[in-house]
Chain A
Amino acid sequence: MKPVGRFSSFAILLVIFFFICVALWFALFFYRVI
């Protein structure tokens, strides 16, 4: 297994990025782009 500490910051970034994408998606939906 790779060191957990190094991986966790990467995972946190990913989770933040995921939520930004989902928020952006909702914005697109409400503004009738989707």
Chain B
Amino acid sequence: MATSSDPAKPRSPLGLIFLTILIDMIGFGIVIPVLPVYAEGSRFGATPTQLSILVGIYSLLQLVFSPILGHLSDRIGRKPVLTVSILGTAIGFFVTGSANAYWMLLLGRIIDGISGGNIATGMACIADVTTKENRSKSMGLIGAAFGVGFMIGPALGGVLGKISPALPFFVAGGLALVNCALVAMNLPETLTPEAQERARHRASIGEVFSHGRSGLIFAILASQLASVTGFSIMTSLFALFCEKRFGYDIAHTGWILFYVGFLGVLMQGGVLRRLLKRPIEKQLAVIGAGVLAISMYFLPSTPPSLGMLLLVCAGISVGNSFVTPTLNGLASRSSDAHTQGRVLGLLASAGSLGRFVGPMIGFQLLRFDSNENYARTSFYASAAILVLALVCITMVSPGAATAPTPDAIPET
């Protein structure tokens, strides 16, 4: 645990940061199976458009506010920013949980989105307290926290949601409060004068796109935008799809998402690590996007058997595990140490934009299908967008960039 009985001895904040991100991801994951079902139910009766905004607004606000909070943490320190943003997350969950009208649900998601700088600030903390040599390994911790949180969260959300529809939000809010207290009491300030100095000398736009890298960076960003858009059509509609097509309740859906998360952890932690000993990121990303597109094409016509659904979900999980880390790796290899932070920031922005655009497309296309083939058009659109991602990835040629760096971790 992160608590220490010996206050005189400075502790490494890595354990606490790991816990922070884990709790944050569990909180985020708890909501996934519950939110659309909760909002669509008789209590709120949200229309598809209202649902798409409810799911997407968080990412749209994060697109703008995550960098602002990151910037603020370079100035006033990591601890205050992290504490306030986790507190905002808690308030957002409580507002969503106690909502009795659609606008209150939306308000909760807006508060959560505005204060959603937890992960970026946590990563900045890790960059502060690690050396270049061991940073990669420590960032791996973040990946592990992400994976495990995303595995436990939906299962917990499903089980709690069955007891009471609003309960998952209160539990997620409670978790965030505990997290906030832990950070406020135990996290040392990690911002160093060197990190502040580094933040002041960020690469200019000219430098980011120099050395003939612009085409390469745009190809990677387009790949990221398309693959995240395609994937988030699935994540935003999955719970409702399981309910309408298979008659599953949110607990069932939560367990299926647990299985998807578990496979993802296995793939990223075990298989991908071994495969990436050779520089075959592009090939793996192409295969991942292909597998993801095929799985999304078959998802709506899955026969009503759990075995078949799990098979298609395995494709989705494996495909996504191949695309996400490899695009990150390609982006960092395509930039030098000076511009890496900005390129990875752009990649994160493309991801946020995709997580907003995906639900917008997915929910709008619902009108073309009846309940028997619920979300078929949306999932076909997702498959088409993923094919587009595949085409974009094939246009990425890492060899075209000069001065690649073996260090895959951002500077700030």
Known: A18-B60, A21-B63. A34 touches B47 (CB 8 A): no
Interface size class of B (residues with CB under 8 A): 20 to 34
Chain B contact residues, CB within 8 Å of chain A: 47, 49, 53, 60-61, 63-64, 67-68, 70-71, 202-205, 342, 345-346, 349, 356, 367
In the complex, A21 Cα to B66 Cα: how many Å?
12
Quick one: which of B47, B53, B63 contacts A25, CB cutoff 8 A?
B63
| A34 in contact with B345 (CB, 8 Å) | yes
Proximity bits, A1-34, B CB within 8 Å = 1, else 0 = 1100001001100100110010011001110111
Known: A24-B64, A25-B63, A25-B349. A30 touches B49 (CB 8 A): no
- Of the A-B pairs whose beta carbons lie under 8 Å apart in the complex, a sample of 17, sorted by A's number, is A7-B49, A11-B49, A17-B60, A21-B60, A28-B64, A29-B346, A29-B349, A30-B205, A32-B202, A32-B203, A32-B204, A32-B342, A33-B67, A33-B68, A33-B71, A34-B342, A34-B349
| Nearest CB of chain B from residue A23's CB, rounded to whole Å | 10
| B47 in contact with A7 (CB, 8 Å) | yes
Quick one: which of A2, A11, A25 contacts B64, CB cutoff 8 A?
A25
Chain A hits for B61, CB < 8 A: 21
| Nearest CB of chain B from residue A8's CB, rounded to whole Å | 10
| B63 in contact with A14 (CB, 8 Å) | no
3 cross-chain pairs, A with B, having the tightest CB-CB distances, nearest first: A34-B67, A32-B202, A34-B345
Look across to chain A and name the residue whose beta carbon is closest to the beta carbon of B66.
Answer: A34
